[in-house]
């Protein structure tokens, strides 16, 4: 439902509840601004990631389509150039990719670009119709029941010959001499695996007979592997295609880019707690690999946060947040006092200060401004150090702190990172880096810190550059002698020994090495101590920061319940308790009773819960008519009660059909007048 949310509508604004508070309009405005930022940035990120493969596709089409008059084309006249675009299994993300591809091709290559879906092309006639509709810019009727002359004329136009005539007319009207003499027709099959094999075969065979008159180029959107073409098409048909494979970036790389360029930025004021990130990433990894659905989950988190947290009005850029803190209402000041992080802050203050914070509203506003400044400063220092630590540890074997930066971020915001075994392992591996490796790693950190804006990060940058200069000034230190790999002698490498003996030998040699460290080892130890001090100072958990609740969304349970739902449970709840969905007072009933005012589907559903595995349709109909007679205030003892007319019969048949469509019953061959129940128990 997130794709249908329109923040500008008054109905949606009233639905999320932002207008029920004194700062509701401000919260709505901030949420709407962040929503637009997320939408715009994610589209820009995807366009940037797909730029390389889209440009390659455009060059492929230019090479084959615009050079169709060359000798090479004449020698291969029966082959159709085909691009197999490997997009991955994240099908919901493909729509944006194909939209960008169509715009690029129409702007730079050819106006004849068609994109088709399998569900719209169940037959060759429908496929050709969709191609002609998009190229002609108008609908083409193929209704065989129409027998007038207009319909016959429209049906005759749904052929490749009509397409050739359309292309010829277009070429005759061209006045720009820079355009080529023959423009290709690009047909994009968005979901190649979903197309009927026979439809594809017939369409390819038809198009191959018109390659002299009309240069076709196909683009197959494939989610699995290139072998899908051989599985769907026989050799006699696939041999008519000149196939070239193009690979797009994986969905995991796309997700990593969204984290790096959007979520893990201090400029983006809305933040996610560790549990919320784990829920969103878990849905991404174990359900659909869709970055678009991940972004919808992020947007839903924003809606929930601004709806449930009145103090989210402070979740904005620094200057706007400070201005909002000055104008806080008395009610919101009291809410600040009840925040767990603010209560912890009050406990650390002197007794006189505690009294002021608990009684003086103006003083609370002043302190709130100071705490918001510190919170923004915390984020500006946190993310550069996080990126530096990830740059240092991402190249280590087995990724002790995680391969992706989001894994390191989750570890940092939920606990003290320096107290974990993974952090100790990472430091131990960093302490045995060779000189060249250490200098290269520190240079990457320096490049990251150059974009930081705080004075403290600039001081850290100067210290790093000083370490780099001192390391480069060292002479007579070889990579092998400083790498730490010579702890085990050559003799030990070829001897079979147990774990205890190996550990004892390593400890002995390490203790000897600490007694006589060379200048490089001393300097490397100082670098590691400096990095460790940065981690302990700037990568503290976010929940320890006062007022973190105003920008961090932490309701992972609500998010999991809304995004990771079970359809069958939701359907059963809706059919058993329609009041909670329709909000109609007449639908309120006691447990175990059936409301005669409920929709027909709900009545039929509750009646079927009282039956066994096989349900007699006539008995089921009689029970339904009895309930409907009660709705019409008929006497239950009269002869008219229980009799049904054609209208009731039709309504019952429709409700049973809907039950079968939802998967609760099915027809059975055991008894022709019975249906089999497919579920057990009630809701």
Tens-digit pLDDT profile for residues 99-115:
999 999 988 888 889 99
pLDDT at 228 over 50: yes
Least confident of 105-109, 587-591, 595-599, 668-672: 587-591
For range 617-632, the mean pLDDT: 84
Is residue 485 located within the same domain as residue 624?
no
Overall number of domains in the chain: 3
| Confidence band of 410 (pLDDT split at 50, 70, 90) | very high
Q: Of 228, 249, 270, which marks where a domain is finished? A: 249
The SS3 of residue 614 is strand
Is residue 376 located within the same domain as residue 504?
yes
What is the structure's pLDDT at 246? 93
Least confident of 121-125, 167-171, 432-436, 650-654: 167-171
Do residues 525 and 430 make contact, with C-beta atoms less than 8 angstroms apart?
Answer: no
pLDDT at 180 over 80: no
Is residue 548 located within the same domain as residue 583?
no
CATH of the domain at 236: 3.40.50.300
What is the structure's pLDDT at 145? 42
CA distance 594 to 605: 10
In a domain, 537, yes or no: yes
pLDDT at 321 over 60: yes
| Confidence band of 18 (pLDDT split at 50, 70, 90) | very low
Is residue 595 located within the same domain as residue 466?
no
Least confident of 338-352, 440-454, 513-527: 513-527
Task: Write the pLDDT tens digit of every residue in 502-544.
Answer: 666 767 666 655 557 788 889 999 999 999 999 999 999 999 9
CA distance 163 to 156: 11
In a domain, 350, yes or no: yes
Is residue 463 located within the same domain as residue 528?
yes
Least confident of 245-254, 266-275, 504-513, 635-644: 635-644
Structure tokens at 648: 């009731």
Task: Write the pLDDT tens digit of every residue in 634-650.
Answer: 555 555 555 667 888 89
In sequence order, the 6+-apart residues with CB closer than 8 A to the CB of 385 are 460, 534, 535, 538, 539
Q: How many CA atoms lie within 13 A of 162 on its CB side?
A: 15
For range 383-395, the mean pLDDT: 93
In a domain, 14, yes or no: no
Pick from 206-220, 627-641, 651-665 the range whose average pLDDT is largest. 651-665
Look at the block and give the residue holding tokens 């400890």: 507
For range 650-677, the mean pLDDT: 89
9: left (phi over 0), alpha (psi -120 to 50) or beta: beta
How many of the other CB atoms lie within 10 Å of CB of 324?
A: 22
In a domain, 658, yes or no: yes
CA distance 634 to 619: 20
Is residue 445 located within the same domain as residue 462?
yes
Share of the chain above pLDDT 70, in %: 79
What is the structure's pLDDT at 634? 55
Is residue 211 located within the same domain as residue 228?
yes
Residue 489: domain span: 255-553
What is the structure's pLDDT at 403? 87
pLDDT at 67 over 60: no
Least confident of 217-231, 299-313, 345-359, 623-637: 623-637
| Confidence band of 86 (pLDDT split at 50, 70, 90) | very high
In a domain, 144, yes or no: no
In a domain, 4, yes or no: no
Is residue 232 located within the same domain as residue 200?
yes
Q: Of 502, 530, 553, which marks where a domain is finished? A: 553
Task: Write the pLDDT tens digit of every residue in 536-577.
Answer: 999 999 999 999 999 999 999 889 888 887 788 888 888 888
Q: Which residues of 568-589 are buried (b: 16+ CB within 10 A; e: fewer)?
A: eeeebebbbbbeeeeeeeebeb
What is the structure's pLDDT at 209? 84
For range 426-453, the mean pLDDT: 91
CATH of the domain at 650: 1.10.10
The SS3 of residue 185 is strand
Least confident of 64-73, 74-83, 219-228, 294-303: 64-73
In a domain, 454, yes or no: yes
For range 409-435, the mean pLDDT: 91
pLDDT at 14 over 60: no
Is residue 592 located within the same domain as residue 496?
no
Mean pLDDT of the chain: 81
Nearest alpha-carbon partner for 87 in 44, 57, 110: 57
Q: How many CA atoms lie within 13 A of 264 on its CB side?
A: 26
In a domain, 8, yes or no: no
Which carries the bigger pLDDT value, residue 633 or residue 127? 127
Share of the chain above pLDDT 90, in %: 42
Which carries the bigger pLDDT value, residue 190 or residue 515? 190
Is residue 279 located within the same domain as residue 396?
yes
Is residue 350 located within the same domain as residue 235?
no
The SS3 of residue 221 is strand
What is the structure's pLDDT at 279? 93
Please give the span between the terminal C-alpha atoms of the chain, in angstroms, as a whole number.
Answer: 24
Which carries the bigger pLDDT value, residue 266 or residue 152? 266
Which carries the bigger pLDDT value, residue 592 or residue 623? 623
What is the structure's pLDDT at 133? 82
The SS3 of residue 581 is helix
Task: Give one DSSP letter per residue of 468-489, joined into a string.
Answer: HHHHHH--S--HHHHSSGGGS-
Q: Of 249, 269, 296, which marks where a domain is finished? A: 249
**Whole-prediction pTM value?**
0.76
pLDDT at 277 over 90: yes
Is residue 529 located within the same domain as residue 646?
no
pLDDT at 440 over 70: yes
Least confident of 12-21, 55-64, 172-181, 202-211: 12-21
The SS3 of residue 243 is strand
CA distances for 96 relative to 47, 50, 57, 452, 671, angstroms: 9, 10, 16, 33, 50
């Amino acid at each position: 439902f997130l794709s249908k949310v329109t923040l500008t509508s008054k109905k949606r604004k009233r639905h999320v509840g932002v207008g029920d508070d004194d700062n509701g309009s401000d919260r709505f405005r901030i949420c709407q601004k962040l929503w637009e930022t997320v939408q715009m940035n994610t589209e820009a990120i995807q366009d940037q990631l797909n730029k390389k493969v889209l440009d390659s596709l455009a060059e492929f089409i230019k090479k084959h389509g615009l050079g169709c008059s060359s000798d090479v084309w004449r020698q291969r006249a029966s082959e159709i150039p085909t691009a197999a675009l490997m997009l991955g299994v994240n099908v919901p993300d493909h729509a944006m990719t194909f939209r960008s591809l169509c715009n690029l091709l129409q702007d730079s290559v050819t106006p004849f670009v068609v994109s088709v879906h399998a569900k719209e092309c169940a037959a060759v006639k429908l496929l050709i119709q969709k191609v002609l509709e998009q190229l002609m810019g108008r609908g083409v009727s193929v209704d065989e029941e129409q027998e007038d002359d207009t319909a016959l004329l429209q049906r005759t136009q749904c052929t490749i010959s009509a397409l050739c005539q359309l292309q010829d007319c277009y070429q005759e009207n061209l006045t720009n001499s820079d355009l080529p003499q023959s423009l290709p027709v690009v047909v994009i099959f968005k979901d190649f695996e979903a197309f009927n094999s026979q439809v594809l075969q017939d369409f390819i065979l038809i198009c191959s007979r018109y390659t002299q008159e009309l240069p076709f180029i196909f683009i197959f959107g494939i989610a699995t592997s290139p072998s899908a073409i051989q599985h769907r098409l026989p050799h006699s048909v696939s041999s008519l295609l000149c196939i070239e494979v193009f690979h797009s970036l994986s969905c995991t790389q796309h997700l990593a880019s969204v984290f790096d360029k959007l979520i893990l930025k201090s400029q983006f004021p809305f933040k996610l707690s560790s549990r919320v990130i784990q829920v969103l990433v878990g849905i991404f990894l174990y359900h659909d690999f869709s970055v678009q659905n991940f972004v919808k989950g992020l947007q839903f988190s924003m809606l929930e946060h601004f709806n449930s947290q009145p103090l989210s009005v402070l979740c904005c850029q620094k200057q706007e947040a400070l201005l909002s803190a000055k104008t806080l209402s008395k009610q919101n000041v009291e809410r600040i006092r009840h925040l767990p992080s603010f209560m912890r802050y009050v406990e650390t203050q002197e007794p006189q200060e505690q009294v002021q914070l608990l009684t003086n509203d103006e003083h609370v506003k002043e302190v709130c401004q100071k705490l918001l400044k510190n919170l923004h400063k915390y984020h500006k220092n946190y993310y550069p150090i996080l990126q530096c630590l990830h740059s240092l540890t991402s190249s280590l074997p087995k990724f002790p702190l995680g391969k992706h930066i989001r894994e390191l971020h989750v570890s940092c915001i939920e606990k003290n990172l320096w107290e974990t075994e993974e952090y100790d392992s990472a430091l131990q591996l960093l302490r045995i880096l060779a000189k060249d490796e250490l200098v290269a790693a520190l240079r990457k950190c320096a490049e990251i810190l150059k974009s930081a804006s705080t004075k403290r990060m600039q001081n850290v940058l100067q210290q790093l550059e000083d370490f780099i200069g001192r390391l480069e000034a060292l002479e007579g230190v070889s990579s092998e002698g400083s790498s730490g790999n010579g702890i085990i002698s050559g003799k030990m490498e070829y001897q079979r020994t147990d774990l205890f003996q190996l550990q004892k030998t390593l400890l002995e040699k390490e203790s000897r090495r600490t007694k006589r460290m060379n200048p490089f080892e001393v300097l490397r130890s100082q670098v590691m101590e400096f990095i460790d001090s940065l981690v302990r100072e700037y990568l503290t958990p976010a929940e320890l920061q006062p007022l973190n609740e105003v920008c961090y969304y932490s309701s992972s349970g609500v998010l999991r319940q809304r995004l990771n739902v079970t359809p069958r449970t939701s359907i059963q709840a809706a059919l058993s308790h329609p009041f909670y969905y329709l909000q109609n007072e007449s639908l309120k009933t006691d447990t175990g009773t059936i409301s005669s005012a409920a929709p027909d589907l709900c009545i039929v559903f509750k009646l079927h819960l009282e039956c066994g595995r096989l349900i007699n349709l006539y008995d089921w109909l009689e029970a339904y008519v009895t309930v409907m007679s009660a709705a019409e205030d008929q006497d239950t003892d009269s002869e008219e009660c229980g009799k049904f007319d054609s209208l009731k019969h039709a309504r019952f048949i429709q409700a049973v059909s809907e039950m079968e469509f939802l998967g609760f019953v099915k027809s059975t061959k055991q008894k022709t007048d019975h249906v089999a129940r497919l579920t057990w128990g009630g809701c």
